[in-house]
Amino acid sequence: MTDLTPADRERLVLAKHQLTAQSVASRVADLIGTPIEKGLAMLPQKARGMIDKAAGEAIQKALEVAILTLGEGSGRPTNARLNLAFAALTGGVGGLFGLPALIVELPVSTTLMLRAIAEIARHQGEDLADLETRLACMQVFALGGPQASDDAADTSYYATRLAIGRLTSDAARHLLTRGAAAREAPAVVRFISAVAARFGLVVTEKALAAALPAIGAVGGAAVNTIFMDHFQELARGHFTVRSLERTYGEARVKTAFEEV
Say if 112 falls within a structural domain.
yes
Q: 7-39, pLDDT tens digit by residue?
A: 999 999 999 999 988 788 787 777 666 666 666
DSSP state of 140: G
pLDDT of the residue at 238: 97
Q: What is the pLDDT of residue 87?
A: 53
The Cα–Cα gap between 125 and 251 comes to: 20
More confident site: 78 or 168: 168
Q: How many CA atoms lie within 13 A of 117 on its CB side?
A: 32
Lowest mean pLDDT among 97-101, 111-115, 174-178, 204-208: 97-101
How does 145-157 read in b/e, with b if 16+ C-beta sit within 10 Å?
Answer: beeeeeeebbebb
Which range, 74-78, 112-116, 229-233, 253-257, has the best average confidence (pLDDT)? 253-257
What's the half-sphere exposure (Cβ side, CA atoms, 13 Å) at 165?
8
Structural domain includes residue 129:
yes
Better-scored residue on pLDDT, 160 or 44: 160
Look at residue 201 and tell me whether its pLDDT is greater than 70.
yes
Q: Are 51 and 102 in contact (CB under 8 A)?
A: yes
Within-domain flag for 133: yes
Whole-model pTM: value is 0.83
3-state DSSP call for residue 71? coil
Mean pLDDT value across the chain: 80
In this structure, what are the phi and psi dihedrals at residue 78, rounded to the nearest 5 degrees?
Answer: -85, 160
For residues 216 and 95, the answer to whether their CB atoms sit within 8 Å is: yes
CA separation for the pair 112, 235 (Å, rounded):
13
206 in any annotated domain: yes
The widest CA-to-CA distance across the chain, in whole angstroms, is 53
Helix axes 6-19, 150-178, angle to 10 degrees: 90
Segments forming the whole domain that contains residue 84:
6-259
Residue 170 CA to residue 15 CA, distance in Å, equals: 27
Give mean pLDDT, residues 97-123: 82
Number of domains forming the structure of the chain: 1
Q: Does residue 254 belong to any structural domain of this protein?
A: yes
Cβ atoms of 152 and 166 within 8 Å: the answer is no
* Residue 26, domain member (yes or no): yes
Within-domain flag for 1: no
In whole angstroms, what is the distance from residue 97 CA to residue 210 CA? 10
> Which residues, other chains included, contact 144 with Cβ-Cβ below 8 Å and sequence gap of 6+?
156, 157, 160, 198
Q: Is residue 246 part of a domain?
A: yes
Beta-carbon contacts of 193 under 8 Å, excluding residues fewer than 6 positions away, are 56
Helix segments in the chain, DSSP class H? 6-19, 24-32, 37-42, 45-68, 80-97, 102-123, 131-139, 150-178, 186-211, 216-248, 250-259
Tell me: the pLDDT tens digits for 117-127?
999 999 999 99
Q: Indicate if the pLDDT at residue 76 is higher than 70.
A: no
